[in-house]
């Protein structure tokens, strides 16, 4: 989506990753680590009997696996106070709250059900795209031109 043509602030649903992977609260933390590695992601929504209850990050997994627990479960390592927003939330409000409170991801819901995830990596990608639209570069200038 070319952001330079927007007339109104976009909603978070326009830039979220839809249908994210998730993990059950009673799964082993090692399963979360494996899923993150397999899909090259750093955040997993956590569900308990189908309901969204929080998020576990790559950092949470590392801390749990470096701890004294043997085969810890996701329930012992996840963050239950996850930042949850509705799909209609304005993107600027989500970004500013994430920055102000040092939040790594927002879980995006529609009618109370997980619809997507928006992470700081997504925010950086979006900002980079906006800069590239405003200040184009050639592949001769930058090997990361996509």
Q: From the centroid of its chain, how far is CA 138?
A: 30
**Do residues 72 and 65 touch, judged by C-beta distance below 8 A?**
yes
Cα separation, 9 vs 16, in Å, equals 14
pLDDT of 138 over the 80 cut: no
Share of the chain above pLDDT 70, in %: 87
For the chain, domain boundaries: 9-134
65 versus 83: which is more confidently predicted? 83
pLDDT of 68 over the 70 cut: no
Mention the CATH class of domain 9-134. alpha beta
What is the per-residue pLDDT across 11-46, written as a single tens digit (0 to 9) for each? 999 999 999 999 999 999 999 999 999 999 999 999
Predicted TM-score (pTM) of this structure: 0.84
- Distances in whole angstroms, Cα of residue 63 to Cα of each of 29, 66, 72, 78, 81: 10, 5, 11, 11, 18
Query: DSSP character for 135?
Result: S
Would you state the structure tokens that stand for residue 99, as one six-digit string? 């920055």
What is the per-residue pLDDT across 104-134, written as a single tens digit (0 to 9) for each? 999 999 998 999 999 999 999 999 998 898 8
């Amino acid at each position: 989506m070319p952001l330079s043509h927007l007339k109104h602030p976009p909603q978070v649903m326009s830039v979220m990753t839809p249908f994210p992977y998730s993990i059950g609260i009673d799964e082993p933390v090692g399963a979360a680590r494996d899923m993150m590695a397999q899909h090259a992601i750093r955040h997993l929504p956590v569900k308990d009997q189908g309901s969204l209850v929080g998020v576990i990050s790559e950092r949470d997994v590392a801390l749990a696996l470096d701890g004294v627990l043997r085969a810890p479960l996701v329930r012992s390592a996840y963050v239950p106070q996850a930042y949850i927003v509705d799909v209609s939330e304005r993107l600027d409000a989500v970004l500013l709250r994430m920055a102000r409170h040092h939040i790594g991801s927002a879980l995006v819901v529609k009618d109370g059900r997980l619809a997507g995830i928006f992470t700081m990596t997504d925010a950086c990608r979006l900002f980079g795209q906006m800069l590239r639209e405003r200040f184009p570069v050639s592949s001769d200038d930058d090997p990361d031109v996509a």
